């Protein structure tokens, strides 16, 4: 009896150990997964790192930094991490809280008197956490045209006064809608309270202590660009290099350039609740601050996928928070033209995964599939063939999008513009927060240009009725748009509304938030 029982115990232990071993995806398996994903998605290069139980267990580059140079990506290759920068901003705020320079619930106006909002109550009660929790009442991506595309001339004073002109889409603090501009305000607040720029503060207080020596708070800080990944986009199935996205007013919403090796240290810091160093004897921020950043501040809808049995979802301070199979999940993605990133942590498993890519839009499919496959493995779930599923989805989406936009441009090419009286449209139009646009004649054709955002200019091609289509000279991202004129009884244009043509246009091209009215001559 004892012998049989003992054997059964040993067998049970062996089976348990085998199941745990199976859940530990090794480097060769990660290689196989990423290489397969690279074969299915049109992506120039990527870097992947995995941390587990306080150690970096995988850290490699794949593909090339640029399809022109063909130089390989390595673990130190710098990518724009875009909105993954937001958690650095909230960590910076936490440091200032601990220094006694601010509190989380301080009113923004107490530190930035010029700050204006769309009504007096919201303005008077808007606190620091409201800046970084996407619950302002403003719509998705509202105002992002101030820096999408890059090259616009808006300054911080323009931004601080702009919110008074926006129309809210929900009641204050009741609904989650992703926002970038308020993070830029948070960056300005950090600068005013610390006496240094956001970039200087991040470098001194986060990057240097963590020995993130190949990470930079801005593109301008990278003096040696030999290991900087080039940005790429896919157009009609062909991948091409595009210019690196230039600086915003500050980098608080998405300005950091980093690499898989350095982000590993950032994930270890997060998983160790603010502690770092070989013996975890150093502390960047306290566990109290860590709990505040990883606490849901804005409730979101849960994923109904029964695979994960999720019960809650929300946004903390710079992080998306949810549960998967009874485990907390902490994550964020980031996207700029030609650069996409994904950071996922499951603290209950002491696990972190980061994927950095240098290609839009397929990079999102790759980073989602790879992150899901790795975390699923550690969760003990079956192989869900995430790579194939995302590849099929992106193919179908691209085909549907291409078919729709092609139909529009075919209709534009066939439209009869002979009855259009061009003089009725020519003139200046003004939006309260975005400034002036001019409709003018160029080589016999109508054109439109925005005076404060020079990359937004292009020929107005007649579509139907009082609607034109514009193909911007800016083509780093698909932002071509319908331009609809409001006409008076005499047929003269008095106002303009703009909407993206593509169903999948990036939300940062918030043309729908413009209300352009003719400037009196």
> pLDDT tens-digit profile of 431-461?
999 999 999 999 999 999 999 999 999 999 9
| pLDDT bucket at 246, cuts 50 / 70 / 90 | confident
Which architecture, in CATH terms, is 9-137+172-384? 3-Layer(aba) Sandwich (3.40)
Kindly state the average pLDDT of the residues 246-268: 95
| 327, pLDDT greater than 50 | yes
Residues 6+ apart with CB under 8 A from 411: 463, 464
| pLDDT bucket at 7, cuts 50 / 70 / 90 | very low
| 191, pLDDT greater than 80 | yes
Burial of 87 (0-12, 13-18, 19+ CB in 10 A): buried
Kindly state the average pLDDT of the residues 168-176: 97
> pLDDT tens-digit profile of 391-436?
999 999 888 888 899 999 999 999 999 889 999 999 999 999 999 9
The reported pLDDT for the residue numbered 9 is 41
| Residue 198 neighbours by CB distance under 10 Å | 27
The reported pLDDT for the residue numbered 5 is 46
| pLDDT bucket at 19, cuts 50 / 70 / 90 | very low
Share of the chain above pLDDT 90, in %: 89
| pLDDT bucket at 521, cuts 50 / 70 / 90 | low
* Predicted structure pTM score: 0.94
Helices 386-414/27-40 angle, 10° precision: 20
Q: Where are the domains of the chain?
A: 9-137+172-384, 414-518
Instruction: Decide if domain 414-518 falls under CATH 2.40.128.50.
Output: yes
Strands (E), 432-492: 435-442, 445-450, 457-464, 467-472, 481-487
The reported pLDDT for the residue numbered 89 is 98
> pLDDT tens-digit profile of 78-110?
999 999 999 999 999 999 999 999 999 999 999
DSSP string, 196-229: S-HHHHHIIIIITTTT-TT-BSSGGG-S--TTBP
The reported pLDDT for the residue numbered 16 is 40
The vertex-243 CA angle with 335 and 218, nearest 5°, equals: 60
């Amino acid at each position: 009896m004892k012998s049989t029982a003992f054997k059964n115990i040993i067998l049970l232990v062996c089976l348990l150990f085998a199941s745990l071993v199976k859940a530990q995806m090794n480097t060769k398996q990660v290689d196989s997964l990423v290489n397969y994903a690279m074969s299915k998605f049109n992506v120039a290069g990527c870097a992947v790192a995995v941390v587990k139980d306080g150690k970096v267990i995988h850290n490699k580059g794949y593909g090339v930094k640029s399809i022109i140079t063909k130089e390989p990506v390595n673990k130190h290759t710098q990518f724009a991490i875009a909105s993954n920068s937001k958690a650095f901003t909230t960590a910076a705020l936490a440091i200032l809280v601990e220094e006694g320079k601010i509190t989380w619930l301080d009113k923004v106006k107490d530190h930035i008197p010029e700050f204006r909002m769309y009504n007096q109550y919201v303005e008077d009660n808007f606190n620091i956490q409201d800046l970084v929790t996407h619950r302002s009442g403003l719509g998705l991506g509202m105002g992002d045209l101030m820096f999408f595309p890059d090259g616009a001339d808006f300054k911080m004073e323009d931004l601080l006064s702009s919110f008074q002109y926006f129309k809210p889409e929900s009641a204050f603090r009741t609904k989650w809608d992703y926002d970038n501009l308020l993070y830029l305000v948070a960056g300005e607040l950090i600068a005013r309270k610390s006496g240094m720029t956001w970039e200087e503060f991040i470098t001194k207080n986060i990057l240097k202590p963590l020995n993130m020596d190949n990470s930079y708070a801005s593109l301008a800080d990278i003096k040696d660009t030999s290991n900087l990944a080039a940005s790429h986009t896919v157009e009609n199935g062909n991948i091409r290099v595009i210019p690196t996205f230039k600086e915003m007013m500050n980098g608080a919403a998405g300005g950091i350039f980093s690499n898989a090796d350095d982000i590993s240290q950032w994930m270890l810091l997060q998983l160790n609740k603010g502690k770092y160093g070989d013996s975890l004897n150093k502390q960047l921020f306290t566990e109290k601050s860590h709990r505040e950043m990883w606490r849901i501040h804005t409730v979101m809808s849960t994923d109904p996928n029964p695979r994960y049995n999720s019960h809650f979802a929300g946004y903390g301070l710079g992080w998306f928070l949810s549960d998967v199979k009874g485990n907390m999940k902490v994550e964020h993605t980031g996207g700029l033209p030609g650069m996409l990133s994904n950071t996922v942590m499951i603290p209950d498993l002491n696990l972190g995964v980061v994927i950095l890519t240098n290609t839009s839009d397929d990079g999102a499919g790759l980073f989602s599939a790879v992150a899901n496959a790795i975390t699923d493995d550690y969760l003990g779930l079956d192989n869900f063939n995430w790579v194939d599923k995302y590849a099929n989805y992106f193919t179908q989406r691209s085909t549907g999008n291409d078919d729709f936009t092609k139909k529009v441009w075919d209709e534009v090419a066939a439209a009869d513009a002979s009855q259009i009286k061009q003089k009725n449209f020519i003139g200046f139009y003004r939006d309260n927060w975005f400034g002036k646009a001019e409709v003018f004649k160029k080589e016999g054709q109508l054109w439109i240009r925005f005076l404060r955002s020079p990359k937004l200019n292009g020929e107005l091609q007649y579509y139907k009725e009082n609607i034109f289509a514009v193909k911007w000279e800016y083509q780093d991202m698909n932002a071509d748009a319908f331009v609809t004129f409001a006409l008076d009884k005499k047929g003269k244009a008095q106002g303009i509304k703009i909407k993206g043509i593509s169903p999948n246009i990036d939300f940062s091209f918030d043309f729908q938030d413009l209300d352009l009215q003719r400037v009196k001559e």
